[in-house]
């Protein structure tokens, strides 16, 4: 009972923070006749342009001819797009320090590295082959690139898929893996998102376990945080501000059950884990039991947050007035 009461107290505190942000909708311009599909990830390049991969106007790119990878200017102008016919289910997009674009395709069980013109530079995993070996994945969810170029893949998306982190060298050589399905430290249930802080610590959004786990890059467990709720996305900027989206928590029994917690975006510090702001999910109602609000996140460090939405099929901007 004491532990339950403490959990509700943490939930109330994490959702009671002020919301200093204003929501901006329809700030982008898509080509005529093009509509958003589900978007679960967004990132920024060195010039402040916004990269996003949607699911081809629907929730899957299978059989579609749309180019799902898009680059927008900060003002919302579409600068380029690529990737038509290359993906089934784009799930994560990351821009590395060199400007290359990384895409995780959860249904083809692969991770791709592209240059900004859409040329494939590297492929990890085997197309259509689900596995738990050194060169296979089973519904990977996310990828993150360390400052030395090492590649980290969050492998698994719940159910009977994998629940591990896989580490590769910058040239794609398998280095190690850690984790399995479970609730103990170093175990996972839907490792859905990855991010590094300025110290090089790896933050893993262990979504179905309602926590963030923090590791060294060799897989040593350091800490777990539950004050950011059920993490679908984690974004850490150069000043160690941390942005965490919860697109799933709900009171009802079943998937996403997380009593006392509200869906939305929590902003705080990756240094000490404090939560300083909360942007509530305006779609979160007792009747709305599906994923809603932002699932993917990026922030420019100047007061603007970008939120990629799966159910609403949208890309929101949150700004400080």
Query: Distance of alpha carbon 247 from its chain centroid, rounded?
Result: 11
* Domain count across the chain: 1
Residue 105 lies in domain: 2-319
Distances (CA, A) of 196 to 9, 45, 186, 232: 28, 16, 17, 15
Q: What share of the chain is helix, strand, coil (3-state, %, to 5)?
A: 5, 40, 55
- Alpha carbon dihedral 224, 227, 230, 233, in 10-degree steps, equals -80
CATH at 152:
2.120.10.30
pLDDT tens sequence for the chain (321 residues): 555 555 556 776 677 799 999 999 999 999 899 999 999 999 999 999 999 999 999 999 999 999 999 999 999 999 999 999 999 999 999 999 999 999 999 999 999 999 999 999 999 999 999 999 999 999 999 999 999 999 999 999 999 999 999 999 999 999 999 999 999 999 999 999 999 999 999 999 999 999 999 999 999 999 999 999 999 999 999 999 999 999 999 988 888 999 999 999 999 999 999 999 999 998 866 555 567 889 999 999 999 999 999 999 999 999 998
pLDDT for 119 equals 98
Q: What is the pTM of this model?
A: 0.95
pLDDT for 254 equals 85
pLDDT for 6 equals 56
């Amino acid at each position: 009972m004491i532990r339950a009461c403490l959990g509700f107290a943490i939930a109330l505190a994490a959702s009671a923070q002020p919301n200093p942000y204003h929501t901006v909708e329809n700030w982008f311009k898509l080509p005529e006749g093009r509509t958003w599909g589900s978007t679960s990830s967004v990132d920024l390049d060195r010039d402040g342009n916004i990269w996003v991969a949607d699911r081809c106007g629907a929730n899957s790119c299978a059989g579609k001819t749309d180019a799902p990878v898009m680059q927008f200017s900060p003002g919302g102008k579409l600068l380029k797009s690529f990737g038509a016919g290359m993906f089934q289910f784009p799930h994560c997009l990351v821009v590395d320090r060199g400007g290359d674009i990384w895409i995780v395709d959860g249904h083809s069980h692969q991770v791709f590295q592209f240059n900004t013109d859409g040329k494939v530079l590297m492929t990890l995993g085997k197309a259509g082959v689900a596995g738990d070996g050194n060169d296979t994945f089973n519904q990977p969810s996310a990828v993150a690139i360390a400052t030395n170029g090492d590649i980290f893949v969050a492998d698994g998306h719940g159910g009977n898929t994998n629940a591990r982190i896989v580490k590769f060298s910058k040239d794609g050589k398998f280095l190690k893996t850690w984790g399995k399905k479970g609730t103990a430290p170093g175990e996972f249930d839907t490792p859905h998102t990855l991010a590094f802080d300025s110290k090089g610590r790896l933050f893993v959004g262990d979504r179905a376990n309602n926590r963030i786990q923090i590791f060294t890059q060799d897989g040593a467990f350091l800490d777990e945080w539950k004050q950011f709720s059920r993490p679908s996305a984690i974004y850490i900027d150069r000043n160690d501000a941390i942005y965490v989206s919860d697109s799933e928590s709900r009171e009802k029994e079943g998937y996403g059950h997380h009593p006392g917690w509200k869906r939305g975006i929590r902003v705080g510090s990756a240094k000490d884990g404090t939560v300083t702001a909360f942007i509530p999910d305006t779609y979160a109602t007792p009747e709305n039991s599906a994923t809603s609000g932002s699932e993917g996140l990026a922030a420019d460090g100047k007061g603007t947050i970008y939120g990629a939405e799966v159910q609403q099929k949208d890309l929101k901007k949150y700004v400080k007035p």
